[in-house]
Structures are given as C-alpha cells and as structure tokens.
Amino acid sequence: MVTEPKNELLTVAETCRYLKITPRTLYRYIQGRQLPGFKLGKEWRFVRSDLERWLQDRTSAQPRP
C-alpha cells in the first residue's frame, strides 16, 4: 500500500476528485476565497493537508441537530 504525503500538491482535477465536487464548484470556492490554494503559473494548485484542515474546519463548524 502506497501512502501519499500530506503536503502533496494537487491539480484542479485531482482536487475535484478528492472533494467530490465539479470544477465549476471548485472555481466558485476559489473566487470566493473560501478554499486554500495558490496559482503556480497559470494553474491552480492545492496542498492536500490544507484541504484536509479546511474540511475539518467546515465539518466541525456545522451545527448538529
């Protein structure tokens, strides 16, 4: 079994697969500055550990019924 590094850089397509969202939704998050990412040249890149932290923050902020 291959483990992936926590600070692996992901492309837009890889990030969409990881978060299970469409590219349109991803770009909406980027435009609203809601998602941690940066541009490398003309392409967006995302650090896997930043995305994991972002997900944790979003899920822990959701009120429980």
pLDDT digits (tens, 9 = 90+) for 8-42: 999 999 999 999 999 999 999 999 999 999 999 99
Say whether pLDDT at 52 is over 90: yes
Domain membership of residue 27 (yes or no) is yes
Q: Which two tokens stand for residue 30?
A: 């980027």
Instruction: For residue 48, give its domain range.
Output: 10-61
- Could you tell me the pTM of the whole model? 0.79
Given a contact cutoff of 8 angstroms between Cβ atoms, the answer to whether 54 and 35 are in contact is yes
Domain membership of residue 2 (yes or no) is no
Domain membership of residue 1 (yes or no) is no
Domain count, the chain: 1
Q: What confidence category does residue 61 fall into, taking pLDDT thresholds of 50, 70 and 90?
A: low
Domain membership of residue 4 (yes or no) is no
CA 58: distance to chain centroid? 12
Contacts of 54 (CB under 8 A, 6+ apart): 35, 36
Domain membership of residue 39 (yes or no) is yes
Domain membership of residue 49 (yes or no) is yes
Domain membership of residue 44 (yes or no) is yes
